[in-house]
Homo-oligomer: A and B are copies of this chain.
Amino acid sequence: MIKKILIANRGEIAIRVIKTCNALGIKSVAVYSDEDVNSKHVKMASEAYHIGAASPSQSYLNMEKIAETTIISGADAIHPGYGFLSENAEFADLCEKKKINFIGPSGKSMRLCGDKMECKDVMIKAKVPTVPGSLGIVEEVEKALDVAHSIGYPVLLKSVFGGGGRGIRLVHDEKELREAFEIASGESKAAFGKSALFVEKFLPKIRHIEFQLARDKHGNAVHIFERECSIQRRHQKLIEMSPSPVVDQKIRDEIGEIAVKAAVAVDYHNAGTAEFLRLDDGSFYFIEINARLQVEHPVTELVSGLDLVKLQIDIANGQEIPFKQKDLKVNGCSIECRINAEDTFLDFAPSTGKIFDVNIPSGPGVRVDTYLYPGCTVSPYYDSLMGKLITWGQNFEEARQRMTLALSDFYIEGVETAIPLYQTILNSKEFISGDLSTDFLDRFKILDRLRDDMKKEASGKSEAALAATLIHSEFLKNRIKSHKEHSVRWKTQVDRH
């Protein structure tokens, strides 16, 4: 049985894992880079060890150092979080070699999930529907052109090593495909020593719907409903929810069963996610399995009542999943907004720096997973996710209203965030009616609407702002004139008590 877990991660997910460790009476071990000595996960863990310089390759990606620290600290297991080493099969193997319980699937299963083409192959054999495209990787541009010709343009050129929206190129004709192939092939060779590209049909107006999975080492497997993650920018998720407005119980049962089949096909054990594309005609295509806890796992927790990190630990302990598929019922609706440090109007470029002030919303049905505290730092070395705002309601509308209210309570001073963008999205009639797709932002010109909304908001506050500025100018002037004379006058009411 696991007694002490080293968390090979940082930020909000490290904190999330520590919370479950605490709840289970398991000791938690944090690791931190030079950049993170002040980070909240260090403060919250039972113990914390320094593992290297700020650059991820020298700290959070340093497999040997992390394995060594695990042994030094006396931890018997590693939770990888998401990102970093979470889907690194070599690391899973290393843990196995060192007799560290890696909280995730086996290296073999992970390799299968990670190799998109091999995985697709396995899925086709398991009769899981997949997106039309090349059967395996294409090494030659001519082969890619053949495939594209047979399935029809536009097509996506993807790298096997991509993920999270990286390494995907949309091409509309032969000329674009030739160009893209050359560049992508070069990139892939430079990064991984080989070109590993594949071609897939580009599907218009698609939804991204994924199923939460769990499978234990005894072969028990369940799905824990779907998540709709169609609101994206540059193929990266911004808003997720469960349930999806286009999934009823019948579809849930049907696609959920396919998702479980996928997990069985790669002999997966751990909590995981099967990602699907859904077309406007209602058909679903399997894309891939994410062999780890997802960023958006809280929406599933809120509608299922489960603690997915606990479930991961139970499975790693060799226990059986303590419930059956029929025990699981969707309770209400949950929405998550990712609170990234990025500038919406600079094409979502990262925005880093010190957080001077932060107000974290709370209240009925509001959950916030975050590493933010006043005085903390958003580092340029790591990804821009500062936290997640998750709301729950008895139905979509209640969850949505709670989200808009919580968003207006979420104040972060020091970096730019997409909070105003989320307000515009959450209040749009298209979002309310559930007309979602991965190109939602472009299709409805959301950024233009955001600009209008922001103008309106500024306009609505301008008179109050002018009033404040008049009085504040007087104050500044009087402060110059005489500190003493007016100090009593401007003494705050708080001080009075």
Contacts and interface: CB of A to CB of B under 8 A. Distances in A.
Nearest to A408: B22
A256 interface: no
A435 to B, nearest CB: 23
Given A401-B23, A497-B379, A305 B368 contact: no
Interface string A66-94: 00000000000000000000000000000
Interface string A341-383: 0000000000001100000101110111100000111010000
A124 interface: no
Interface in A375-401: 375-377, 379, 394, 398, 401
B362 A367 contact: yes
A15 B305 CA distance: 27
Contacts of A377: 494, 497
Contacts of A379: 497
A301 B37 CA distance: 40
Interface in A1-28: 19, 22-23
Given A19-B405, A23-B405, A331-B331, A367 B376 contact: no
Given A22-B405, A332-B305, A362 B368 contact: yes
Interface string A227-238: 000000000000
Contacts of A331: 305, 331
A354 B305 contact: no
Contacts of A215: none
A494 B375 contact: yes
A448 interface: no
A250 to B, nearest CB: 23
A473 interface: no
A332 B304 CA distance: 11
A23 B367 contact: no
B375 A367 contact: no
A23 B406 CA distance: 10
A493 interface: yes
A366 B369 CA distance: 11
13 contacts: A19-B364, A19-B405, A23-B402, A37-B493, A38-B492, A38-B494, A306-B394, A331-B331, A354-B497, A364-B367, A366-B367, A377-B494, A379-B497
